[in-house]
Chain A
Amino acid sequence: MELSNPSLPNNIAITTKLDEAIGWARESSLWPMIFGTACCAIEFMSVAASKYDISRFGAEVVRFSPRQADLLIVSGTVTYKQGPILKQIYDQMSEPKWVISMGACACSGGFYDNYTTMQGIDQIIPVDLYVGGCPPRPEALLDALLTLQKDLRTNKYNPNRHENFKGLLDNV
């Protein structure tokens, strides 16, 4: 079978910027780690199942070990009791890493405005994309994923963007 593209002359080289090549490579090799705590995690199950099928977008290798993942998807309510755990997971991921906050609870505490619930995970870890909804529909999460991929392709993310982030659990 002919593997090369017959319409191109032999022995060509494509020149591009290194950043662009890396962005292109990252775009379709995201390894998500799912931090699912509540109802939103059940919707994540749908995203992974046949109908919505996250693997179509090249991000199906869901890891449950933070050390093997570069995209953290926080889906569900994060209570104060969960806080140190989420922070630990985030810290264990190696750079470069991205965070999607899925659902009203993760974004803002949702309608749990009470003594138990952290009013948004960005109080303790930096977030790159917020997905609204209680729970968001699977399409909404896929949309966030596509947005992230586009941003990676265009190198939107400054690698130092979280340098000055200080959360409630930093420096304790």
Chain B
Amino acid sequence: MFEKMIVLSDEIHAFIKSKYDEGFNYLLDITAIDYSDYITQQEKDFALVYILRHESFKNYIVIKTYLHELEIETISDIFKGANWLEREVYDQYGISFKNHPNLRRVLNHKEFVGHPLRKSYPITKGQILHETDDLIDEMNHRLLSKGLVCKTDNGLFSECSKDLMFLNLGPSHPASHGTIRTYVALDGETVEAAVSEIGYLHRGFEKSCENHTYNQIIPYTDRLNYCSAISNNIAFVKTVEEMLGVTLSERAQAIRVMLLELSRIEDHVVCLAAVLVDMGGLTNYWYMYNPREDIYDLLSKLTGARLTNSYMRVGGMANDLYEGFEEDLKAVIKKIQHGVEQTLALIKHNRIFHDRTQNVGVISAEDALNYAITGPNLRATGVAFDMRKDTPYYGYENYEFDVVVGSVGDVYDRVMVRFAEIDESIKIIKQVMENLPEGDVNVKDASVTLPDKEAVYGTIEGAMNQFKLIYEGVKVPVGEHYSALEATNGELGFFIVSDGSGTPYKVKVKAPSFTAMSAYPEIIEGSQLADAILTLGSLNIIAGEMDR
């Protein structure tokens, strides 16, 4: 359930504050829309969109404001999570935020000129970076705010208390998971201050959506969270289907639920395997990774690809389950359970594991909400927000499963919540397979799904239908829509603006890893360096999804 409202740009701060006091205290996303190429002229060329969720988690509001000038009051004093979101809008659209504490680019590099998500920026115009940002400026401000350096009269910074050592963690380091960079100031082994730089895997997903048809975008969504590709497919097509107003067949819904849960397992398995490696427990990696290979085998049989499945289509999916799928699935689940059991046997009562994870990398429930952290990372703090329960879709309300929550919000909780979620997912998959409805997997609507091959080759209407859908894409009615589902890392949402054609006018992803990462520097400040590595692993930051 959601409401849309339009607010004057000078009143935005006060309005959002009042909504916050009403209980809309969970900031999902901030994005801008450049209307300069839109089919109908809008009040102003640029608008900002704020999406806020209510603390009951049942409903959300979409607040839109047209900008008279390209500047607006920041809301980062209300929501910590707004800090990076506003930086992104500044980076991509060139809209400034008054009183923002650190308004600089976040995704694009420091030598970049212009604002790529503006319609006037050509999609393929790349710009070379010659030298990586040293982040010293940002670090100095961070140190200043923590009282670790003083500003001298001539505007320079000088150390005033501790003797600090500076170190880059990443971006090319195994423990930084490939593309994440954190610059830390160390006092001995303790992280006194940290700043993170992201955007190393910014692949322009959102801009690329603007020259592809809806179905062509599906392979791109695979590569957001590439550890669980199918759940990204589903989140995207679900949003498009809601805009089209099509209802899926019961069978398609059930298959999607089953695959969402399988993806969740797939993703949790990699996250857990990796975090245990970061801790030095290599054996667990083999135990956890082997069943993942079995999932790959199953998925390649079903979809043709191991990792990047691109299995969904608007209005359904590429094909139905194959004969014998159920037996294969059962065998895979057995192997998953076996892998999980073996791993737990190694760590459950393991003193080293407990000491290294408990009370490490703690984030409080309050902070987690304020940063808009979601999914297992939020549930580990004790907040039982799970879209499968709070705003069910695809019949989740009919399945019996528990929402797993932690109590402390430390690495231990985040790891254990994921272990327990694997069990819950298996429960759901079993229930789905027991009652799998018969019928088609694609909606029968010539304007949405492709006709049967027989009709394409046999009739002129069929051939025309296929041709038009492929070339022009599924035509989505004019409108703006946000929709989300509980993906493996939490609420994964898409905000789509359609101008009625077969290509979206604008797409914005609400990416769970982005908000989790924005909280990371604050979480690790004060902790040991080795713990910072574990904290990163346990947050399961997937660069593809974070940087888009």
Residues of chain A touching chain B, judged by Cβ–Cβ distance below 8 Å, are 35-39, 41-43, 45-46, 49-51, 64, 76-77, 79-86, 89, 111-119, 134-135, 137, 168-169, 172
Contacts and interface: CB of A to CB of B under 8 A. Distances in A.
Contacts of A113: 123-124, 208
B87 interface: no
Interface in B130-186: 130-132, 171-174, 178-179
Contacts of A50: 286, 289-290, 293
Contacts of B108: 81, 116
Most chain B Cβ neighbours within 10 Å, of A37, A43, A135: A37
Nearest 5 CB-CB pairs, A to B? Answer: A39-B226, A114-B204, A116-B204, A81-B109, A49-B289
Contacts of B109: 80-81
A42 B270 CA distance: 9
B207 A114 contact: yes
Nearest to B129: A80
Given A50-B290, A51-B293, 18 more contacts: A38-B178, A38-B179, A38-B544, A39-B223, A39-B226, A42-B270, A45-B289, A46-B296, A80-B109, A80-B127, A81-B199, A81-B202, A84-B129, A115-B121, A117-B126, A134-B308, A135-B306, A135-B308
Give the size range of B's interface with the partner: 35 or more
A78 B222 CA distance: 18
B285 interface: yes
16 contacts: A39-B226, A64-B174, A76-B178, A76-B201, A77-B203, A80-B109, A81-B109, A85-B172, A115-B122, A115-B126, A115-B207, A117-B204, A135-B308, A137-B306, A168-B128, A169-B130
Interface in B211-251: 219-220, 222-223, 226-227
The SS class assigned to the A binding surface is loop
B125 interface: yes
Contacts of B286: 49-50
A83 B293 CA distance: 32
Contacts of B292: 46
A84 B208 CA distance: 24
Contacts of A83: 128-129
A37 B223 CA distance: 12
A142 to B, nearest CB: 15
Contacts of B408: none
Nearest to A112: B203
B116 interface: yes
A172 B262 CA distance: 48
Contacts of B125: 115
Nearest to B109: A81
A116 B198 CA distance: 13
Interface string B84-124: 00000000000000000000000011000000100001111
Most chain B Cβ neighbours within 10 Å, of A46, A116, A135: A116
A80 B200 contact: no
A45 B293 CA distance: 11
A21 to B, nearest CB: 34
Contacts of B529: none
B266 to A, nearest CB: 10
A119 B131 CA distance: 18
B49 interface: no
Contact of B544 (A39, A117, A137, A172): A39
A84 B207 contact: no
A82 B200 CA distance: 6
Interface in B286-319: 286, 289-290, 292-293, 296, 306-308
A84 B109 CA distance: 11
A50 B273 CA distance: 13
A37 B286 CA distance: 22
A113 B124 CA distance: 6
Contacts of A112: 203-204, 208
B126 A35 contact: no
